[in-house]
Amino acid sequence: MEEQASIHHADGDTTPHYEPYGWHHWPAHPWMSYQFRRALGETQEGGGAVSEVFQTGSRIDPGDLDSWHAEWLITAERAHERGDAAFAAGHAQTARNCWLRATNYYRSAEFWLEGTDPRRLATFDRLEEASQKFMKQLTPPAEIVRIPYEDGAHLDAYFLRSPVGGARQPVLIAMGGLDSFKDELWYIVARGALQRGIAVLAIDGPGQGGTLRRQGIVNRYDTVVPVGRCIDWLEARDDIDPARIAVSGTSLGGYYAARAACREHRLAACISHGAVWNMAELWEHLDENAPIVRHLTWVFGCPDFEAVKEKSKQFTLDGVIGEMQCPYLIVHGGYDVLGVEQATKAHDGAARAGIDATLRFVTEEETGADHCQHDNPTIGQELMCDWLADRFGIDQSALSV
């Protein structure tokens, strides 16, 4: 698989059009267009309505990050309020649908805000409010939990039991990456896992979600520590199968998950939903003025981009991949706008070390070829959850949802 695309340069065609990696709404603003594509793709998993997404996009000035926030916030609040009204009227299913859409609209609304901008936490508070209203209406209801971490801190998380998983269920510890967090994981992997009888512990690890926003806990390269704490927490329960605990990470979480699996041998399987072999290599061609850079400095806890690049040198699988003892799956967009080289390096490094490693590139013909299948998250979810169900010995034909 050759390098085929890059998000670092504007497309020559400045009109909205379809690319192999999906709908390109504002080609002159590739980073913002990428985030629009992400919101659009997640509509098919309940994270929005196509018309609402395009309506919001029609109001946004793509060169104005404040415009992005304001317009997504309007759409989010409308969906949230409609959900509240529906619930008060006894229309629980409509309420669930609206709250789920609102959650993802809030995620878009807060995305480009500075970490220190008070609007960011305020928007995230509303996001979690809508998300948890939805989660509590699941069957069985999700548990809003805090995983004990270090020095009195905790990891914010949701524990979701499958309605078809039986008394002692296998579990997937799921995490996001640089900018995705526990609430977005419903659209990416959680729903598919629950359908296949697999419980989910969706976490905000260091540098993610509420763990970053409320406690100021930035990311770390040795992700075995937070993942190990999650396993400790799970093993104290009597409703999970400790022999069938897996971990997945999306985007930069693909590194987080794999690095944890190299050292945490209680894991039965590992999934990189978007692979990263050496994080420092990701930033080699990134313009320090790109909008994503201010998010990087916040998540890494660094004063500037140069410090981010220096810290990133610790974030590598080179030299540790051979310690992984569980089966390893990489699902990666074949036309990933961040490139495909990292996935190939991660798979080849694992294979050389004798790891049971599988690399699945998703092609433009089947759609889902974008980074983490943002243009078609359903296919990524299916590939990951079917693989995991097979590894856990689950007969899906015997399940019903």
Catalytic residue numbers?
251
- The set of residues, in sequence order, having a beta carbon less than 8 Å from that of 397 and lying 6+ positions away, is none
Give the whole-angstrom CA distance, residue 102 versus residue 120. Answer: 16
Of 91, 154, 327, 19, the C-alpha closest to 144 is 154
DSSP assignment of 165-205: S-SSEEEEEEE--SS--TTTHIIIIIHHHHHTT-EEEEE--
SS3 155: strand
The answer to whether residues 124 and 108 touch, using CB atoms and an 8 Å cutoff, is no
Taking CA 347 as the corner, what is the angle to CA 346 and CA 351, rounded to the nearest 5 degrees? 120
Q: Position of tokens 């359903």?
A: 378
Identify any residues that bridge with 363 across adjacent strands, giving them in sequence order.
none
Of 160, 371, 349, 331, the C-alpha closest to 248 is 331
The pair of structure tokens assigned to 374 is 């943002």
Phi and psi of 359, rounded to 5°?
A: -115, 125
C-alpha dihedral over 112, 23, 388, 270, to 10 degrees?
Answer: -40
CB burial of 215-232 (b: ≥16 within 10 Å; e: otherwise) equals: bebbbbbbbbebbbbbbe
SS3 82: helix
205: left (phi over 0), alpha (psi -120 to 50) or beta: beta
Q: How many CA atoms lie within 13 A of 251 on its CB side?
A: 20
336: left (phi over 0), alpha (psi -120 to 50) or beta: beta
